[in-house]
Chain A
Amino acid sequence: MLNIRSLKTYYESICALKSVSLHIKKGEIVTLIGGNGSGKSTLLNSIAGLAPRTTGTVLFENREILGLSPSIIVRLGISLVPEGRQLFYPMTVMDNLVLGTYSYYSFGNRKEISSRLEWAFELFPVLGDRKRQLAGTLSGGEQQMLSIARALMSKPKLLILDEPSVGLAPKIVENIFRTLIELKERTDLTMFLVEQNAKLALDVCQRGYVIETGQIILSGEKEELMNNREVLRAYLGKE
């Protein structure tokens, strides 16, 4: 579904990604593990069309998407849950969700949109209770749920999650990840999950990649990575 070959991204003259190649198959949950500044977010931004200067190829359903504008990439079916949630804080929960449908919104498909809203509220009941509240007044966990729900409103084929667990209490993280797994089981949505919390990420994924200083240094099936000595030492905190 997604096929990345020798992707390089530059910020000014700094090379943040040095020839990254990876692929994601339909229906998979693939994870990308890496520490701070390893290039995780840069990679995701490059896929979503938000990075300034990129070279290489990124094929999505056999179509080159590198260099396309973010609005077209969303329309093609890639939706990003960004780092730091990036909600429209002074707007209501409802407005945030409706804006998630921007890529296909029209007067004619109101029915479809309202049924999708229902579906999102079913997935995250808390948001249904807080429809009219401003997004900025939600708790951290609720904001993260809203960010995921907003991304789902655009009818994505590939959902990219940038550190959804960061800064949240373990219980809330567990709740969010349970919802993601439920979502996966119900819709067969493809997910690309980026995490610093390697244990969590390896738990839910089928395959994974490890990135360090802008390069993929390891890749493999879930069990392979979980038992890899390097991963155990650097990311799971076991000697």
Chain B
Amino acid sequence: MSFASQLLQYTLSGITIGSIYALVAIGFNIIYNSTGIINLAQGDFVMLGGMIAVFFHNTLHFPLVASGPIAALIVALIGILFERFAIHPLKNASVITLVIITIAASILFKGGAMFLWGKDAYSLPSFSGDEPIRFLGATILPQTIWIICVLLFIVAALVCFFRYTMVGRAMKACSYNKRAANIVGINVNNMVMLSFGLSALIGGIAGVIITPISLIEYEKGSLLGLKGFGAAVFGGLGNMGGAVAAGILIGLLESYSAGLLSSGYKDAVALIILLLVLFFRPGGIFARKEVQKLKHY
């Protein structure tokens, strides 16, 4: 294998894992925009998505096409229930209190998953076979293409949702100015609930599509959540396009450092980026001055 094709291989696997980070980062952003909360259970939504899909497919023997969507919807429901029972009742709590509650939820989800499924790692079959596709000396798994397509589809769907639907506009309006949202008659409580549902749904989908190439176990969510958070901060909290770019960038850097330096440093990359960004550019690399200013009017 020549160096060039090796590099291509690293690039492809970087984009794959980066897509997952991007999806997690989008989940962070949706909740952050509507509430200002960093939902530290976001990674666990991914884990739950994978686990529940495994349960439906491997245990109940549902076909894969049904197990995936069912799992994602159940995770969305879990997200909504979480908001209704743990976030909503604390009406006047500070953001930091709510963030701590999401840590508790994360521990609860992990504990629950361990209780239900044990500490074993599970896998799902790939969506369309495991026959690798040769591409300029590198190989691509079909699942990789699935992951990238799902990311593109979700981003396109979100863009349309926030730009062209009334509910999407209303959610965006809540993130810009809650008081004004109330004044025009938007029920801000419902929008917050919806944002948790949507974030959980996206997390669940990420879990379903990643499980075939990377085993899923009860603890998997923590690291994914942390790296996704790194991507969200890197791209600028609340910035959807930034999240996608930053997620893929972190995936690439991780993959290059694993391939060219040592795989031992792989996990450190995202965390070092997170720290550097927080030190030097806390608004994220894509922070546009004009819009940032308008946001904090």
Contact = CB atoms under 8 A, between A and B. Distances in A.
A88 B173 contact: yes
B161 to A, nearest CB: 14
Contacts of A74: 183-185
Interface stretch (B122-130, B174-182, B208-216, B267-275): B174-182
A90 B185 contact: no
B166 interface: yes
Interface in B81-113: none
B5 interface: no
B173 A99 contact: yes
A90 B294 contact: yes
Contacts of A98: 166, 169
A129 B245 CA distance: 35
B297 interface: yes
B192 to A, nearest CB: 14
A102 B180 CA distance: 12
B183 A48 contact: yes
A82 B180 contact: yes
A102 B294 contact: no
A74 B172 CA distance: 19
A144 to B, nearest CB: 14
Interface string A21-61: 00000000000000000000000000010100000000000
A232 interface: no
A71 B177 contact: no
A134 B294 contact: yes
Given A90-B295, A91-B176, A136-B294, A69 B187 contact: yes
Interface in B239-297: 291, 293-295, 297
Contacts of B169: 91, 95, 98-99
Contacts of B187: 69, 71
Given A82-B179, A82-B180, A89 B297 contact: yes
B176 A71 contact: no
Interface string A129-163: 00000101100000000000011001000000000
Contacts of A105: 166
Contacts of A102: 166, 170, 184-186
A100 interface: yes
A90 B291 contact: yes
A88 B177 contact: yes
Nearest to A137: B294
A204 B251 CA distance: 64
Contacts of A151: 183
B185 A70 contact: yes
A205 to B, nearest CB: 23
A95 B181 CA distance: 12
Contact of B183 (A70, A95, A134, A137): A70
Interface in A67-103: 69-71, 73-75, 80, 82, 86-91, 95, 98-100, 102-103
A11 B170 CA distance: 28
A192 B195 CA distance: 36
Closest 9 CB pairs of A and B: A74-B185, A103-B185, A136-B294, A86-B180, A90-B294, A89-B294, A70-B182, A71-B185, A71-B187
Interface of B: 166, 169-170, 172-173, 176-177, 179-180, 182-187, 291, 293-295, 297
Interface of A: 48, 50, 69-71, 73-75, 80, 82, 86-91, 95, 98-100, 102-103, 105, 134, 136-137, 150-151, 154
Given A105-B166, A136-B297, 9 more contacts: A71-B185, A75-B185, A87-B180, A88-B172, A91-B173, A99-B186, A103-B184, A150-B184, A151-B183
17 contacts: A48-B183, A50-B183, A74-B184, A75-B185, A86-B183, A89-B294, A89-B297, A90-B176, A90-B295, A91-B176, A99-B169, A99-B173, A100-B184, A102-B166, A102-B184, A105-B166, A137-B294
